[in-house]
Chains A and B, each alone.
Chain A
């Protein structure tokens, strides 16, 4: 009998680079995927929650790459989502192109906008960049309202793949699931590639990265572009899901929600944006569902019901950031470690 140490050991480069690097992760991911595929059966009428989470997770994934891995702060992520949504609405509406063409095309339109917005990021950094993107957010909102006229509302056709119309919630969900998983897998592969390593070098110290031969302008623009691409895809999905879009959907509040998702989920984790999106959406939708029931029991409560979402959301955000600045991803990691070692402390 040979003596083998317990645990997963990476003994080849391929193993070291694998996205799912341990048996636990592989089994866990498989189980998660199965649960998501079977979700319409166990969630039933609440499947809309998962659809919303999925759409926002795709967008948050992009912001995660930008903020978590490239270190660029953006308070205007919803603006890119809006650009994607309106582009998609115009492409399927006025131009009459099919949804499957419009989806990546909307992403590319956002990509171009993202790359252009990134150009000043070489000159302005940190706080100043955050403020510039904030201004971009407001200007985009304003531009859309003025170009679309009225309140800027525009109706969108139901998505179809070939001759197959996606009419029901469940059909849309399965289409979304493919995009969602794909975007997550691409993002987690990207950060292990040359591009991802360059992003992290830029994040850690941009001048040092430049000395090492990383073209700052190229990689910052690329990071913004990729983030905007993800947001554009999310916007396109949202447009075809809600079928009626107004700039209200993509206001500064959505931008803040996005940043909250990324920060709460965990900035430097590929899982972070997805966890964060789930938390934020469940929180806001859950509060929306719970408040009418609470008012039914306590009518005094009605006056404070509308702003309650803001108050609870803000409080949880602050509490989580004080308790665990690394976000949910770090919390889960700590929990796993505790369970691994249980009942011993170390």
Chain B
């Protein structure tokens, strides 16, 4: 039992680090643009598929860099073509548009690369043993990458001008724009950033589990992470990502194996419902106080 929990903790943290990265993109986009991006899972899918396709042509590191560039371009394109004309439209329209966007991205991905699971070429799945707990080598690598990236992103938002502008907009749109921050540019950056975070998540998960179109489902787990941490909180998204990874692996894995089959896939939604019932603004989110 204790081995199960320890192993689950390790694997959960490894998966959780990737969830955290994906959730970070999600939360940042929500924070600065107030758009709930239900196409986030498809951005993950985009990263995974494109990186695999490119890695058949060029070496893996080059493929990853190219994928990130492509993801950034996709993010800019989405903002410019779809989201900018919809600025100020009601909530529901924007949600629907992100869903439609997801349809298009997923349709194109499946249309071009087909529906079956693909693996990165030349990745061998060795098993590493840390303190007697078996964990997949790829899992360790992706967790290390995810943590490094989380630190880099944190430094970016802490010190770079663009990062500070984005935080300013996230804090108070109107004030930031009166102080000379270009909202359009920040929105474009936010989309590019979300697409890149999603793509990295897609690549890391793809290295680990292979890529098929079920990968888009991860977007919903990131949603659970973001809800748990608080929709508009960046640290919340990261903590939420790790928490979802661990809960899913340990609690989900246990119930899945011993009580009802398939529970692991659904536990993220149970968490969403429970959090929304008890603390709708999540662990670290700002509590919204409404006045007439």
Residues of A within 8 A of B (CB): 67, 73, 75, 120, 123-124, 126-128, 130-132, 134-136, 138-139, 142, 145-146, 205, 207-208, 211, 256, 259-260, 263, 267, 303-304, 306-311, 313-315, 317-318, 321-322, 325
Contacts and interface: CB of A to CB of B under 8 A. Distances in A.
A131 B86 contact: no
Given A259-B99, A322-B86, 20 more contacts: A124-B276, A126-B91, A127-B231, A128-B276, A134-B223, A134-B272, A138-B269, A139-B266, A146-B261, A146-B262, A259-B95, A260-B99, A308-B107, A308-B111, A310-B106, A314-B100, A314-B102, A317-B96, A317-B100, A325-B93
The 3 closest A-B pairs by CB, nearest first: A314-B103, A307-B107, A310-B107
Interface residues of B, number: 43
B260 A310 contact: no
Given A307-B111, A314-B100, A259 B106 contact: no
B273 A317 contact: no
Given A128-B276, A311-B104, A304 B96 contact: no
B92 interface: yes
A321 B95 CA distance: 11
Interface of B: 36, 82, 85-86, 89-93, 95-97, 99-104, 106-108, 110-112, 114, 220, 223, 227, 231, 260-262, 265-266, 269-270, 272-273, 276-277, 280, 290, 292
A204 to B, nearest CB: 12
A100 B88 CA distance: 46
Contact of B110 (A73, A267, A306): A306
A142 to B, nearest CB: 5
Contacts of B227: 128, 131
Contacts of B93: 263, 321, 325
A131 B226 CA distance: 11
A310 B266 contact: no
A145 B266 CA distance: 12
Given A73-B92, A123-B280, A127-B231, A307 B106 contact: yes
A304 B103 CA distance: 14
A120 B110 contact: no
A126 B34 CA distance: 12
Given A127-B231, A132-B276, A314-B100, A303 B36 contact: no
A73 to B, nearest CB: 6
A317 B97 contact: yes
B100 A142 contact: no
Contacts of A146: 260-262
